[in-house]
Structures are given as structure tokens and as C-alpha cells.
Amino acid sequence: MIYMSYGANGRWKRDMNKTFITKIRQDKEFQRLYDIEKKKLDIAIALAKARQKKGMTQGQVAKKAGVSWETVSRIENGRVNSSVEVLSRLFAAVGKRLDFEIS
């Protein structure tokens, strides 16, 4: 947890609750959930970057992949879990291939 406060010197200062951060980093359930969200956001960022590099709108990608633009938006914003099939179609629409690594 990071707290921002306005200091007496007229500058913003950052105070961290180190005890909270230390505890949460050791929490296995938190780490499990964090890892899931990180992967979801990594996919979201990769799709958005690939789409922008192609100069395509979310609507254009959606039409080419056979989904709604809302679906593309939700995926790019990390707000939805999508199937491998939908993700594969979206990445194909921007000229990319979706690969998985299982370790």
C-alpha cells in the first residue's frame, strides 16, 4: 500500500506501509491471484500493441475475428477472461500467433 501525502516542503512524498507489503508478498493466495492477473494483463498489452502496430481499431479487429468490439475492449483492459479460441482469433486478426509455454 502506498500513501501519497503533501509534505511541508511543498512536494509530494511517498510513505509505504512496509509491514503490509512484506506480509502480502508472503501470502501464497495473493501471489497466486497476482500471477493470474499479471498473465491476463500481459495478454491485454500484447494484443493492444499488436493492434496499434497494425494501425487497426478495436472494431476492425473485432470484425475480422468475429467478435464484438466490446469484447476486444474488455480483453485489452484486462476485464474479462477469454477463451483460447477467441484469443487465437484476435491475435490472428492482427497477424500474430498465440503460443503457450507450460512449465
All structural domains of the chain with their residue ranges:
2-93
Q: Are residues 74 and 63 in contact, defined by beta-carbon separation less than 8 angstroms?
A: no
**What φ, ψ does residue 95 adopt, rounded to 5°?**
80, 25
pTM assigned to the model: 0.73
What is the per-residue pLDDT for 1?
A: 47
Helices 28-54 & 69-76 angle (0-180, nearest 10): 130
Fold of 2-93: 434 Repressor (Amino-terminal Domain) (1.10.260)
Burial state string for 46-80 with b = 16 or more CB within 10 A and e = fewer than 16: bbbebbeeeebebebbbeebebeeebbebbbeeee
Query: pLDDT tens for residues 12-71?
Result: 555 556 677 777 878 889 889 988 899 999 999 999 999 999 999 999 999 999 999 999
91: exposed, middle or buried (Cβ count in 10 Å: 0-12, 13-18, 19+) = buried
Amino acid at the residue 60: Q
61-100 residue pLDDT tens: 999 999 999 999 999 998 888 999 999 999 999 999 988 8
Between CA 70 and CA 75 the distance in angstroms is 9
For the chain, the average pLDDT equals 86
